[in-house]
């Protein structure tokens, strides 16, 4: 039996309970992993509240790093004793130990700690597909302006660093001067405190009225209209989260009126449908983390028993960088 976080109903952080559950036997194609660190992400909030519905009871979490204890038949890329990390389903990473499919479990280089591995997989792979796989119709070249909301969060800080490496002029938004300074220190070219300034007007000023080629938006409802107004003609709006609530319904004609814009709603898991694709993305991420180009800032650590507090601070936007649980 191991400790795990489970919900019996959807709702506030109070619905999360730390319970004792059996690990289960390893079947073909599976591995058993002892977790050393577990990632906490906003998608976990969506699962907890039911915004992304799942069957109940539900074990939460989808990111962790640890050690392989046992390997099932047919698993060839892993063996007992391997250091590994993952960001994939099925849900249930908020636990000390688990059995799960081996397909999207990646070997973690010795140069990367378990804490960094748990903090970077979901966020880092998300930044990888956003910057490398989601391109505007006219392409994305060094010197181009892009806008990244919530840039002081876990995904945002990785994106700031990686965008600088790619030569992009990333305009960051965040909710405090402290968070803006953090985004700038991690490679953002400009930063806007959206609580003090009109980010649409500031983006227009920064870009000489042209707007940006791409907006990366995990905030959702609160930034949707303004984000569209920041795009240049044929620009790409990438919505990949709903921190402020779901984006409201809109008429496609709005996109024509605002400059023949493109909109896409992305998820990481559409990009990790095979072991080969997942490993290639992870290798790209591991390379820039191992050489120090990209750092995953672990700024909040909580015991598994304190998972409610971790979610409360995340939802209140009282966190910076990455948050992990230590089981």
Q: What is the mean pLDDT of residues 141-167?
A: 95
The residue from 265, 291, 306 where one domain ends is 265
Q: 296 versus 93: which is more confidently predicted?
A: 93
- Is residue 42 in some structural domain? yes
Same domain, 259 and 196: yes
56-69: pLDDT as tens digits: 999 999 999 999 99
What DSSP line would sit under 162-229, residue for residue?
HHHHHT-EEEEEESSHHHHHHHHHTT-SEEEETTTS-HHHHHHHHTTT--EEEEEESS-TTTHHHHHH
Helix (H) or strand (E) holding 131: helix 114-132
Same domain, 313 and 210: no
pTM greater than 0.85: yes
- Is residue 130 in some structural domain? no
* Coil vs helix vs strand at 77: coil
224-234: pLDDT as tens digits: 999 999 999 99
Angle, CA of 324, 23 and 278, to the nearest 5°:
55
Same domain, 161 and 217: yes
**CA dist 206 to 133, 149, 170, 226, 234, Å?**
26, 16, 11, 15, 19
Its domain, for residue 94, covers 2-124+272-326
Joined together, the tokens standing for residue 120 give 């970077």
């Amino acid at each position: 039996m191991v400790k795990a976080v489970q919900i019996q109903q959807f709702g506030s952080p109070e619905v999360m309970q730390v319970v004792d559950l059996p690990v289960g036997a390893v079947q073909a194609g599976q591995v058993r992993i002892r977790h050393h660190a577990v990632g906490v992400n906003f998608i976990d909030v969506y699962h907890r509240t039911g915004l992304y519905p799942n069957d109940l009871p539900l074990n939460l979490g989808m990111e962790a790093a640890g050690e392989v204890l046992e390997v099932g038949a047919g698993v060839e890329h892993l063996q007992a004793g391997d250091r590994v990390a993952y960001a994939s389903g099925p849900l249930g990473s908020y636990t000390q130990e688990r059995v799960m499919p081996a397909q999207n479990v990646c070997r973690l280089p010795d140069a990367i700690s378990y804490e960094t591995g748990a903090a970077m997989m979901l966020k880092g792979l998300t930044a990888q597909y956003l910057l490398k796989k989601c391109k505007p119709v006219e392409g994305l070249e060094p010197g181009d302006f892009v806008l990244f909301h919530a840039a002081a969060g876990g995904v945002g800080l990785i994106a700031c660093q990686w965008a600088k490496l790619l030569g992009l002029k990333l305009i960051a938004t965040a909710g405090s001067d402290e968070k803006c300074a953090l985004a700038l220190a991690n490679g953002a070219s400009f930063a806007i405190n959206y609580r003090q300034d009109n980010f649409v007007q500031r983006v227009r000023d920064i870009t000489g009225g042209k707007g940006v080629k791409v907006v990366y938006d995990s905030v959702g409802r609160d930034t949707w209209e303004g984000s569209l107004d920041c795009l240049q003609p044929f620009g790409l709006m990438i919505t990949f989260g709903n921190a402020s609530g779901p984006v409201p319904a809109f008429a496609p004609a709005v996109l024509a009126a605002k400059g023949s814009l493109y909109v896409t709603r992305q998820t990481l898991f559409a990009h990790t449908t095979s072991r080969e694709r997942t490993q290639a993305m992870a290798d790209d991420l591991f390379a820039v983390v191992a050489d120090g180009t990209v750092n995953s800032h672990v700024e909040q650590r909580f015991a598994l028993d304190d998972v409610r507090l971790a979610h409360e601070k995340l939802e209140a936007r009282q966190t910076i960088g990455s948050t992990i649980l230590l089981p």
